[in-house]
Structures are given as structure tokens and as C-alpha cells.
Structure 1
């Protein structure tokens, strides 16, 4: 078998490519052969100098040439125009049109089932009544709603507090007050669903395998050549690259 030659990657620092002048790109200045992928601004050119005849020879009508404002480059403006005439003189036979104040539409009777809005009139003031049969608001008396003595109203529960006992009460002798141990508590499993109960058994022996097993140092996978042409070998390459900047510790001014 021939020796396998390992190819190292190409370092970009050793490559010597063409300079910027070797690239031929379309220009982005001007409009001749302009790069079509870039936007271009409008371009203008200067005309050659005209002769002096335009100053010495008068070829225009001047300001006296008046153009009507209604004339456009498409023709005369087609918007309508109006004018106001003078007021006509009144004659004896002329018809005098009545003004808005001469009409009284509110006096016309309803015709053809016309609907009229409601109309109201104001009567004269009545005499003051000396005896008013209607009682005032403070003359009414309503039943009291506090307590449970109203038969036709719903009421909440009412409680009363009695006086504190002085003879034989807990305030006189604290030893008469029963402690927590005096009360008998019922097992909850009597009146509720009984919960599952568990018990703990003795500890079981752990199964032990008495066979001897090889440790990690017993195996040598680097010596296996069953599926390889030879055992793997390693070598150290170049310690430092020639393109790496060296570490400068002491800087001399």
C-alpha cells in the first residue's frame, strides 16, 4: 500500500490575487454604460454658446403681447362664466312678488289629511286652597324594619348577649375551664371515607453477584486491529503558525 499524503489547507496570506484595478465593473457615474443595477440621477448637458443675434435682433413681440388667461395649451377654458346685469326699473304694469313676511302658513287650515302638531294653551292661575286634603310627606309613618317584629318583612337572624356571670363562671376561677384533653374526638374514619393504611415490613437482602468483573484499566481499545488496517497513531504538527502575531510583553519606548 502506498503512503497517504495529507494535504494541508491553503492559507489566505500566501495567496496573491489581482488588485482592485483588475476588476472591470460598469461605472455608476454618468449615463454612458451606467450600471443598470444601480439607480441613476437625471443627467443634463450644456448647450453651445448662442450667437449675439438674439440680443441685437428683436424677434419677439415683447410684453405688449397679451394672452388671455382663459387660453391654455389645450385650448380655451371650458368652465361656465356668469355676469350680473343692472336692476330693471319698476313699471306700473310690472308684477310685484310678495316677500317672505307676506305669507302666513300657520293660519292655513289642514287640507288633504295633513297632520298638525299638538297645540297647547295656558289657563289662568287657580286660587290657593286653604285646606289641602293631601297630607305632607312627613305625615306618613312606616313600620320599623329593625328587629324581627315585622310580620310581612324578611329579617336576618338576631342574637342577644347575656350579662357575665360572677359566681361560678370561668372569669372567677380559671381551673374550672376544661382543657383540650377533656374533649373526646371521634375518629374521622367513622363518619368519612376510610383512607388506605400501609405497614412497613422488614428489610430485604440486596442481591449480590459474586463473579469478578474486569476494571477499566484491563481494556486496551487502542490495540484493537480487527476492523482497522493498523492501530491508530498520532503525531504532533507545527507548534505555532507563522502567521500568528507574537505575544509582546515588554514594550520599549
Structure 2
């Protein structure tokens, strides 16, 4: 480009302005947005396509516990190996204590072996009777007469066997039924048991009620109340016919037999 006399850069005649017509840069576009599901990942995967197995690591905890281990804070000596201590044996000399403790052990002059007597030398047995003490209290012990030997008769023998014994007790007045009849049930307190319960049950029969003959004052139908010709249960019904016609009541009856 050319320069002016004032040495300024020439930028041309173009300046920013509105376009005369619509261009694509003025309108937004969704870009490469497709409606088909993707083939990558586990979520929203295309169900029609094969999906390889996927493995995931555990999620990181929200709160990391920092006090579970003290960390490498222990100092291991240099002579310690996995097989034990290494090196030559080492010995140390302890210093003399400042205060010596005085021994309480008795010396040789405190023993008297001449007084040992029968403890160290053999001697015949000797017995002595000790005198009665003055401060001894009078003991209330029973004498020989206070004891009795167990009996040799009866059922209470201790040192000898005994035959079986039987006793008859007397009748008590308080519990006898003769003294208090209310303590024993009477005959009415027992229920009679049907013999058919504990033995074979015999056949049972029942008697019907008596049928009385009807008296003479009852209303009985007479012979004229029956119509045997109308019975059709025991025989077939014969055909019935009717003759003549109904005449007027004003016509004179036909007289056949005239008494002279």
C-alpha cells in the first residue's frame, strides 16, 4: 500500500457496517446435533448396536479419613534385617550405683548351733505333760452319761439290720367322716354312668303313643257323599253322552200313564 505525505498507514476504504443482505453469520445454528443415539459410553447407547463390556473403578469417598494410619513415622535400626539382627555381639558395662543398699542378711555370729538340740541330732522320743493353765475357762462339755447307744430293737437301729415293721395309726377325730359328714359326698353327688359306655350297647326300642278310637259324635260322611261313578283311578273312564235339549218351562209335560 501506499503512504500519504503524513506517513500514516493506509487501511483502505472498508469500514465496519451492516451487511446489505442476510448472511449465515447473523443466524445461530445447532451445529452437528443428531437425533440418533451414540455408540460411545454406557448411557444413551444405541440398543441396536453391540456394546462391549465396560469396567469402572470405585468412586472416591467424599470424606477422606486421614487418621487411619500414622504413615512412615517409625525409624528402623540399621542392623535389623528380615532375618534378625546383623553384626557382632555387643556388650556394655553398667555404672556403679550412687547409693549402695545395706544388706540385711544376718552374719555368722547371730547363729547358735549348740541350741539346735534334737533338731540336728538323733534322740529318743520324749513326752511331756503341760500344766493346767490358770486362765483356762471352764468348758461346758457333756459327760459320758450324756450319750446313749442306738437301740438294737425296732426299725431305728443303725448298726444292726432290722425286719420290716408295720404300724396301725389311730383314727383322727378331726378328719373322720363320722364327726363331720359335710366332708364326704352323699349318694346324690355321683352320676350314674350308662352301661352302654363301658359295655356292649344293647338294641333299643321305642313305644309309640296310644291312638284313640274316634268317638261317635264326630262328623262322618254318609253313603250319599261318595260318587263311585266318578272314580277314574282304578278303572278307565267310560264315555258319557247327553241327550235332549232344554225345554221351556211353559210347555206341558208329557203324560204317559193316566190312572183311570
TM-score relative to the length of structure 1: 0.16
Structure of greater relative contact order (alpha carbons < 8 Å, 6+ residues apart): 1
TM-score relative to the length of structure 2: 0.16
Rg larger in structure? 2
